[in-house]
Structure 1
Amino acid sequence: MAQQQWYKGAVIYQVYPRSFQDTNGDGIGDLKGIISRIDYIKSLGVDAIWISPFFKSPMKDFGYDISDYRDIDPLFGDLNDFDELIAQAHQRDIKIIIDQVLSHTSDQHQWFLDSREDKTNDKSDWYVWADSKPDGTQPNNWLSIFGGPAWQWEPRRGQYYLHNFLTEQPDLNFHNPDVRKAVLDNVEFWLKKGVDGFRLDAINFCYHDALLRDNPAKPPEKRQGRGFSEDNPYAFQYHHYNNTQPENISFMQDIRALLNQYPGTVSLGEISSEDSLATMAQYTAGGDKLHMGYSFELLTNDYSCEYIRTTVQTLEERMTEGWPCWAFSNHDVERVASRWSGDNTINPAQCKMLTALLASLRGSVCMYQGEELGLGEAQVAFEDLQDPYGITFWPNFKGRDGCRTPMPWDAESGEHAGFSPEKPWLPVDSAHKYQSVKVQDEADDSILNAFREFMQWRKTHPALIEGDIEFIETAEPLLAFYRHFEGKSMLCVFNLAANSASLALEGTVLTAHDALPHQTGTLDTNNTLTLPGFGCFYADVN
């Protein structure tokens, strides 16, 4: 891919470093662990690695609460390790994307320690501070995603501060130009280190309504979670004022202007708003804001063809200038192999089909570590939970630990499956050991090897990388669309159910891609396509 456009259609492999590979025996993965597995990542045929936060942090939210944006937490290594990781990745033509958590810091960040002291210090206006109501209650009705009010009393100042997430994650005040400049300076530090781009965490949360207006109530029938439990009070409001403010647009432009000084670098914004698809389109429009946006729209429990088709089509209609990025799994939601299985039973055919489907949609792709193995959601006992979100909402919502358990490398190398010689921070799920990398490496028909074969095959078909998408109206459980590129078209069809299904393709002349290793659909002489359960079919349109 051209240097300036390498991100278009790229497959981005998300590494959650705590759970990838431990090299020093402390039970927590580290940067050297990623380096030690870099050839494995290369074997997957991906274009880039997105690394979740590894910066200095008290780890209240496992790295998404940053106390020093310019240094590595000792749990993960040091700056020399990061330099080596970039060098090793670039030698293998793999890009490095790192998380940037810009909307909030840790309450242990020096900026906040200064800001909370009084109302007159140099950092006094760097966070969102507000007086109480006359009765001493919170300034307004805003809620935290992690439960309860989004305001915490600070006795040193005699004021409340805003935290959209944990109490220990105070929100920065982006209405202050000094904050914007300091944040961008931190971003540039990593550009100078040679990173190829940033995944921008909760990027639509940078600005708040300066008037601190109350959010309106949301009726019960509209309380659908996007990345959070639906019984969480957070779902009870329309979040019109605590995020996604108009001023955020100019900050997106500031980010893009900075990245333009480092050719080939890209931005991927995580967006969760009342209308995430509209916000994605807005934040990527005009060529002067984000390069890509992604949201939680396909990280939900709705696995119907109608929902997937409507979601993608809606974004296509709105995002006429930007570039989408899609994901089925990440470190915040139940793993897709369980979430979309219906009965929590891992079906290898379904896992193979989901990889093909995700990588066939128009846009770039984020694949979460373990997705290539078909890992399901791990079962984590309450006493082993680490995620404060899960601990708060147990047992109705078990939090995010189930998708964050360690990678199973080799079940024969000890009870922790080759992740660590010592007890890991989260237990390795016993079921995952039978899906280890070593087991699947040695099985020609494994989910892992099908993943590798598909990604290599995909690279040879430009229509799947940069082509336009045109859906065909089909009945459940078949999802079908064309990818068009430079006057040529490819038909892509997927069966999302366990039972076989057929599709009449009258008047369409096709040449099937029979060489595709796990293509399972068959086309008869009447031009009727039959797909077995969880089958997929690709053909060139003649």
Structure 2
Amino acid sequence: MAVETGRVDDANWWRGAVIYQVYPRSFQDTNGDGIGDLKGITERLPHIASLGVDAIWLSPFFTSPMADMGYDVSDYCNVDPMFGALADFDVMMAEAHRLGLKVIIDQVISHTSDKHPWFIESRTSRSNGRADWYVWADPKPDGTAPNNWLSIFGGPGWEWDGVRKQYYMHNFLTSQPDLNFHNPDVQAAVLDTVRFWLDRGVDGFRLDTANYYFHDKQLRDNPPILYDAETGGLESDTNPYSMQNHLYDKSQPENIDFLKRLRALLDSYDNRATVGEIGDGPRSLTTLAIYTSGNDKLHMCYTFDLLGPAFSAGFIRRVVSTFQDTVTNGWVCWAFSNHDVVRHVTRFAETPEERERVAKLSISVLATLRGSICLYQGEELGLTEAELAFEDLTDPYGIRFWPAFKGRDGCRTPMPWDAEQDHAGFTTAGRSWLPVPPEHAAAAVDTQEHDPQSVLNHYRATLAFRKAHPPLFDGDLTFVDTHNHDLLVFIREKDNERLLFAFNLTREPQDFALPTTMKSCLPIAMPGFEVAVEEGVVKLAGLDAFCARV
């Protein structure tokens, strides 16, 4: 029987949707090689559907040398044998649709692998048919790189090629050359790969690094980033990339017309959607506004604003208010965790004892904000960041910046299903591609399944609560001014329903005096929280939440 997940056949299903991110390498292994696969995803889809989400987002499963765990694609229209075959993808998608789940797949089109046939041909000469498909440039007279652009993965953003006697641009690894989107043939080829998956029935795309497609044709140097007025320091000194103001190597105005072409392609199919990843530093929300406005570019985007260490009422209010002031008719997708950042329970919890409470409060906050939301596999179990030894690392970013930065492997460890089995039921292999920490095994799905107070069942109840109240899909959000800046208080409103939410993100009890116009509000049971109202004052314990109909 299909699981009812809401507006499945609605063209606006994505607006207010809950999207569950699956990292295929770490979800479920079915062939005993220690690596997750598509058949494993199919096997575990009922778990995802039981959460009450609307869609799944699959991180890359395409043919790849795996230098960057699949974000270095060598064939956009095939499945890497590590994960199975196209037939396995079709079976997985059919089962997801049977369960009422949409399927969103990653599209990594700003760059390819250096093993992609396009690049192999491009580097053979300056006159071949794809010579201008990548960003090539001559060296300066002294032999150095064309400009000062840097790679996110460390070092220059240029690599010398001895055959062409030119540099090629790479925002990431040297084995991930950037495509030249100024070439219309490149745009057409990329759109053909998108069409391939649309014809196969996918419901949408998560667009990796969606503001990285175009570069400045003049190859102008990026200026240094300004010092922070409050701290007197740089945004980060772990990675020199953050020391530049990236005016010219990404977020170029030409990107707008390409996004319109992409949207027109999706609009020629029924009920398809895009969610773009925007990494643009302090300009991220401005870029998001441009990319999602007008209903002719991306459907929605997410930024890294809530993927940092801050979890306070003032910070969340500032981010959301800035979004609402900046983005007039676009749409945002909020998230606290994904495959690139430290898990949010580790970022937000101050002590091990409060991790479960933080996990529950986090999803309650996320589920009541205005926008769509992304959940990352394992957060429904309250998983923390795994502590791994250097010899266990596979992430090139972590290996490059160790020990100042431990990389992304700690949030990519296998999903724990059965606490009593080896590798927590993820694989029957003697060794999994990343180890399963004992504390993750203890939080496995089977140990939480029948505990009504577990984080897992709190997620289910919270997402059911979200579905039961239409304002939480796409209703307006208005912040309520309070004299207590430690409280996050807002109203969600649509049609005739107005809901008041108050969150105490501190560890100390806090009082919230209801405004005179709300004294007669009707408290609503919010999953996991029981808050008392005494003579018009809401009594919130530390890490607590309150909801009322006003």
Task: Indicate the TM-score class for this superposition, using the shorter chain for normalisation.
Answer: over 0.9
Residue 523 of structure 1, aligned match among 498, 512, 533:
533
Q: Say which is worse superposed, 7-16 or 490-499, in terms of deviation.
A: 490-499
Q: Which residue in 1 is equivalent to 2:228?
A: 221
Q: Which residue in 1 is equivalent to 2:392?
A: 384
Q: Deviations over 1:416-444 (max 9, x none)?
A: 00001111111001111111101111211
Per the TM alignment, residue 339 of structure 1 is displaced from its structure 2 partner at its CA by 0.5
Q: Residues 234 and 243 of structure 2 are in contact (CA less than 8 Å); yes or no, is this contact kept in structure 1?
A: no
Q: Which residue in 1 is equivalent to 2:3?
A: none
CA distance in 1, matches of 2:408, 2:244: 23
Per the TM alignment, residue 348 of structure 1 is displaced from its structure 2 partner at its CA by 1.2
1:359 equivalent in alignment to 2:367: yes
Q: Residues 132 and 160 of structure 1 are in contact (CA less than 8 Å); yes or no, is this contact kept in structure 2?
A: yes
Q: Which residue in 2 is equivalent to 1:435?
A: 443
Q: Residues 226 and 234 of structure 2 are in contact (CA less than 8 Å); yes or no, is this contact kept in structure 1?
A: no
Change in Cα spacing, 1:238 to 1:170, as seen in structure 2 (3 Å) is same
Q: Deviations over 1:326-378 (max 9, x none)?
A: 00000000000000113465521211110010011000000000110110000
Q: Which residue in 1 is equivalent to 2:204?
A: 197
Residues 73-84 of structure 1 aligned to structure 2 (within 5 Å)? 73-84=80-91
Q: Residues 338 and 346 of structure 1 are in contact (CA less than 8 Å); yes or no, is this contact kept in structure 2?
A: no
Q: Residues 360 and 464 of structure 1 are in contact (CA less than 8 Å); yes or no, is this contact kept in structure 2?
A: yes
CA distance in 1, matches of 2:524, 2:237: 42
1:330 equivalent in alignment to 2:338: yes
CA distance in 2, matches of 1:527, 1:47: 37
Q: Deviations over 1:272-330 (max 9, x none)?
A: 11400000000001110000010100001122211110111111111111111100000
Q: Which residue in 2 is equivalent to 1:481?
A: 490
1:465 equivalent in alignment to 2:476: no
Number of residue pairs the alignment of both structures matches: 535
SS at match of 1:3: coil
Scaled by the length of structure 1, the TM-score of the pair is 0.97
Q: Say which is worse superposed, 265-274 or 329-338, in terms of deviation.
A: 265-274
Q: Which residue in 2 is equivalent to 1:20?
A: 27
Q: Residues 313 and 504 of structure 2 are in contact (CA less than 8 Å); yes or no, is this contact kept in structure 1?
A: no
Q: Please, what is the CA RMSD of the aligned residues?
A: 1.2
Q: Residues 531 and 545 of structure 2 are in contact (CA less than 8 Å); yes or no, is this contact kept in structure 1?
A: yes
CA distance in 1, matches of 2:345, 2:326: 30
Identity across the alignment (%): 54
Q: Residues 346 and 355 of structure 2 are in contact (CA less than 8 Å); yes or no, is this contact kept in structure 1?
A: no
CA distance in 2, matches of 1:173, 1:142: 16
CA distance in 1, matches of 2:389, 2:486: 35
Residues 233-244 of structure 1 aligned to structure 2 (within 5 Å)? 233-244=240-251
Give the aligned residue type for 1:512: P
Per the TM alignment, residue 33 of structure 1 is displaced from its structure 2 partner at its CA by 0.5
CA distance in 2, matches of 1:444, 1:518: 10
Q: Deviations over 1:235-274 (max 9, x none)?
A: 1100000000000000110110000011100000000114
Give the aligned residue type for 2:143: G
Give the aligned residue type for 1:519: F
Q: Residues 411 and 434 of structure 1 are in contact (CA less than 8 Å); yes or no, is this contact kept in structure 2?
A: yes
1:119 equivalent in alignment to 2:129: no
1:130 equivalent in alignment to 2:141: no
CA distance in 1, matches of 2:479, 2:173: 41
Q: Deviations over 1:173-225 (max 9, x none)?
A: 00000000000000010000000000000010000000000000113437766
1:94 equivalent in alignment to 2:101: yes
CA distance in 2, matches of 1:260, 1:468: 26
CA distance in 2, matches of 1:186, 1:495: 47
1:494 equivalent in alignment to 2:494: no
Scaled by the length of structure 2, the TM-score of the pair is 0.96
Residues 118-517 of structure 1 aligned to structure 2 (within 5 Å)? 118-221=125-228, 230-274=237-281, 275-343=283-351, 347-414=355-422, 416-422=423-429, 423-474=431-482, 475-507=484-516, 508=518, 509-514=520-525, 516-517=526-527
Give the aligned residue type for 1:369: Q
CA distance in 2, matches of 1:463, 1:53: 33
Q: Where do 5+ consecutive residues of structure 2 fail to align?
A: 1-6
Q: Residues 96 and 197 of structure 1 are in contact (CA less than 8 Å); yes or no, is this contact kept in structure 2?
A: yes
SS at match of 2:359: helix
Q: Say which is worse superposed, 313-322 or 185-194, in terms of deviation.
A: 313-322
Q: Residues 29 and 426 of structure 2 are in contact (CA less than 8 Å); yes or no, is this contact kept in structure 1?
A: yes
SS at match of 2:374: strand
SS at match of 1:264: coil
SS at match of 1:221: coil
Give the aligned residue type for 1:292: M
Per the TM alignment, residue 402 of structure 1 is displaced from its structure 2 partner at its CA by 0.5
CA distance in 1, matches of 2:466, 2:361: 14
Q: Residues 220 and 236 of structure 1 are in contact (CA less than 8 Å); yes or no, is this contact kept in structure 2?
A: no
SS at match of 1:283: helix
CA distance in 2, matches of 1:510, 1:33: 47
CA distance in 2, matches of 1:403, 1:280: 26
Give the aligned residue type for 2:316: I
Q: Residues 45 and 452 of structure 1 are in contact (CA less than 8 Å); yes or no, is this contact kept in structure 2?
A: yes
CA distance in 1, matches of 2:298, 2:314: 29
Q: Residues 370 and 476 of structure 2 are in contact (CA less than 8 Å); yes or no, is this contact kept in structure 1?
A: yes
Q: Residues 519 and 538 of structure 1 are in contact (CA less than 8 Å); yes or no, is this contact kept in structure 2?
A: no
Q: Which residue in 2 is equivalent to 1:63?
A: 70
SS at match of 2:259: helix
SS at match of 1:412: coil
Q: Residues 32 and 81 of structure 1 are in contact (CA less than 8 Å); yes or no, is this contact kept in structure 2?
A: yes
Q: Which residue in 2 is equivalent to 1:30?
A: 37
Q: Residues 39 and 88 of structure 2 are in contact (CA less than 8 Å); yes or no, is this contact kept in structure 1?
A: yes
CA distance in 1, matches of 2:141, 2:266: 46
CA distance in 2, matches of 1:114, 1:44: 46
Change in Cα spacing, 1:70 to 1:20, as seen in structure 2 (3 Å) is same
CA distance in 2, matches of 1:453, 1:50: 22
CA distance in 1, matches of 2:428, 2:234: 42
Q: Residues 15 and 52 of structure 1 are in contact (CA less than 8 Å); yes or no, is this contact kept in structure 2?
A: yes
CA distance in 1, matches of 2:465, 2:312: 27
Per the TM alignment, residue 476 of structure 1 is displaced from its structure 2 partner at its CA by 3.8
Q: Residues 144 and 234 of structure 1 are in contact (CA less than 8 Å); yes or no, is this contact kept in structure 2?
A: yes
SS at match of 1:4: coil
Residue 546 of structure 2, aligned match among 526, 530, 537:
537
Change in Cα spacing, 1:24 to 1:83, as seen in structure 2 (3 Å) is same
Q: Residues 269 and 290 of structure 1 are in contact (CA less than 8 Å); yes or no, is this contact kept in structure 2?
A: yes
Q: Say which is worse superposed, 526-535 or 380-389, in terms of deviation.
A: 526-535
